[in-house]
Amino acid sequence: MAASNVTLCGICNSQHVSTVANYWCPECDEGLCSQCEIHHSVSKASRQHGIISINDYKKLPAEICKIEQNCRKHERKFQMFCPRHDQLCCLICISENHKECTGMFPIDEAIKSSRTSTLFGSLEKSLKDIMENIERVVKDREANLVEIKQQHLKILNNIKDTRHKINSRLDELEKHMIDNLNSTETQLKLKIETLLNKLSEKKNEIEILMKNLVSVKQHGSDLQAFIGSKILEKDVAEELKYVKNISKDDGFSQLGLKCQIDDKIIDILSNITGIGSIKIEKSKSPIVIGVGHEKQAHFFTAVPPRSKSIDDITASLIGEFSVLAGQFSSCITGLSVFPDGRMIFADYIYNKRLVIVHSDGTLDCEIHCSPLQPFDVTCIDNKTVAVTMFTNNKIVIVDTKSRRVTKTIETGKCRGITHRQGQILYCELEKGIQAINVSNKKKITIVKDETINKNSSYITTSGENIYNTDYGSTVKCYNVNGDKRWEYKDESILSCATGIAVDQHGIVYVISNEITCVVLISEDGKTSRTLLSAKDGITYSYVIHFHSNKLYVVSTSGVIRIFDIA
């Protein structure tokens, strides 16, 4: 029953009498008036109940008021707590729904010390720390907003200044071009006008010759006509010669103006899409988030660690991005995550490179390995990684800051790789699981397994366990001493198993490529089910990674899909 403005006495109300309650009994889950409280406090059945005033009851959060003391389904008092299902149980609940559950404990023992346990003090300290951190972050973010505004104004002025410079330069170029146009037009006009003047003079000369010819023909004597025609013949011959050569005059050509815009200007118009670009500049915040008790687990001593069933797990897509394309099509076969959250990918066979990206998918750097072919990669610290090479029978240690190989370790045919407590563990074909000490290169065989003979065998660790796939239908789990804990095989759900990851509950996530899905295997290796399939965007993949309740599935083409696991 949730607290309200007026709470009635439950006992009186059952007798059809409306009396305002002055007290509340959490175990009876009802209000009590002053008179009924007296009887309640002396009754053998209820004298041990811890009643509180109705005013204190109304101060409790609504969700706390909703906590019931008895099982609503069976009308029995709760007696046990099931950590697997995070539920209070009555005896009938246990017999019906919790027969297989382990770690159940009586709630009476736990609640006796609930008020005096360190949990409340720890929660108060944690909430205080959280509030202090939030206030620090708020101040820092507000300061960042002011800084962004200042940067905005500075960039705006820079854009306008650049535009002004561009305009001034274009005005200069335009003036020069127009002056050149005017000058060229004047030259062409001069050539044509010169020719026109010459032709005008020739027309006058021809008209005179025509008049002379008519005059000689009509009025001259026969001798004058004969001799005159010879003289005129020479003059006409000269004029014919001029007409024939007139096409050689510059003014006779068909002249015109043509504008050829400079290729660089054309490039500006066609290729340049902007004056510049605006990018987000991201750097690590100076604020360090720290909660004093964040690494301490404050549980009631009676409560064992909780396990989780694979049936309870759900996955929802929350993000997607792609690895920066290389010169050729990507073939992503390895992934590891640095302690600072950056991711490094092995882009095998075609591009022969390592690609490092930030957690938001933006590129950090590329490290080219040609002619070596990086197959799988594991982070040793924030700048050092170990990489297996597909065809060269070696593991190389790479400093990602200098992008150089600092150490080479000769091996057999090594494939999947991981790092654990100063050791590099990897799958060596036809031998098994090997371990190399990073500091002295000492090599030992943890698991002798000649069945590891496929090119896409992968390995990971969690706690004291080692897990590996064999690109078949089998997943194996060993302890760090090499003793097999379990082996799971099911061809109906697992086929061409590659990438493998493990969550905090010991549940295993495996890529099954033949069926194009992600398979869950229980922590004891006894049961499995499909979590994600092709309809969830799963395609052929080698790489899978689990971190902070997020599952990263990476296709060979370099598409990273991020799923929230709940």
pLDDT over 70 at 443, yes or no: yes
Query: What percent of the chain clears pLDDT 70, i.e. is strictly above it?
Result: 92
What was the pLDDT predicted at 313?
Answer: 93
- Asked if residues 452 and 470 have their Cβ atoms less than 8 Å apart, the reply is yes
pLDDT over 90 at 475, yes or no: yes
Of 36-50, 110-124, 350-364, which range is least confident?
110-124
Average pLDDT for 118-129: 72
Strand partners, 378: 386
Residue 25 phi, psi (nearest 5):
-105, 110
pLDDT over 50 at 92, yes or no: yes
What was the pLDDT predicted at 115?
Answer: 60
Query: What percent of the chain clears pLDDT 90, i.e. is strictly above it?
Result: 30
pLDDT over 90 at 297, yes or no: no
Going from N- to C-terminal start, the domains of the chain cover 10-101, 121-255, 310-565
What was the pLDDT predicted at 107?
Answer: 77
Question: Rounded mean pLDDT of the chain?
Answer: 84
The dihedral formed by the CA atoms of 462, 464, 470 and 476, expressed in degrees to the nearest 10: -110
Q: How far apart are CA 399 and CA 418, in angstroms?
A: 17
Sort strands 414-420 and 423-428 into parallel, antiparallel or unpaired: antiparallel
Of 23-37, 265-279, 494-508, which range is least confident?
265-279
Q: How far apart are CA 104 and CA 83, in angstroms?
A: 6
Q: What is the pLDDT of residues 175-216, one digit of tens each?
A: 988 988 898 888 888 888 888 888 888 788 888 878 888 887
What was the pLDDT predicted at 300?
Answer: 37
How many CB atoms sit inside 10 A of residue 352's CB? 21
What was the pLDDT predicted at 298?
Answer: 36
- Asked if residues 289 and 313 have their Cβ atoms less than 8 Å apart, the reply is no
Q: What is residue 228's three-state secondary structure?
A: helix
358-365 long-range contacts, CB within 8 A, separation 24+: 358/282, 360/282, 360/321, 361/321, 361/322, 361/560, 362/282, 363/324, 365/400, 365/403
pLDDT over 80 at 292, yes or no: no
pLDDT over 60 at 538, yes or no: yes
Average pLDDT for 360-374: 89
pLDDT over 90 at 385, yes or no: yes
pLDDT over 60 at 117, yes or no: no
Residue 430 to residues 7, 415, 448: CA-CA distances in angstroms? 75, 11, 9
- Asked if residues 11 and 45 have their Cβ atoms less than 8 Å apart, the reply is no
What was the pLDDT predicted at 101?
Answer: 76
Most confident of 65-69, 220-224, 267-271, 330-334: 330-334
Q: How far apart are CA 496 and CA 472, in angstroms?
A: 5
Q: How far apart are CA 88 and CA 372, in angstroms?
A: 58
What was the pLDDT predicted at 199?
Answer: 83
- Asked if residues 467 and 508 have their Cβ atoms less than 8 Å apart, the reply is yes
Residue 365 phi, psi (nearest 5):
-165, 165
Cβ density class 233-242: b for 16+ within 10 Å, e for less: eeeeeeeeee
List the CATH code of the domain at 310-565. 2.120.10.30
**Chain centroid offset of residue 182 CA:** 59
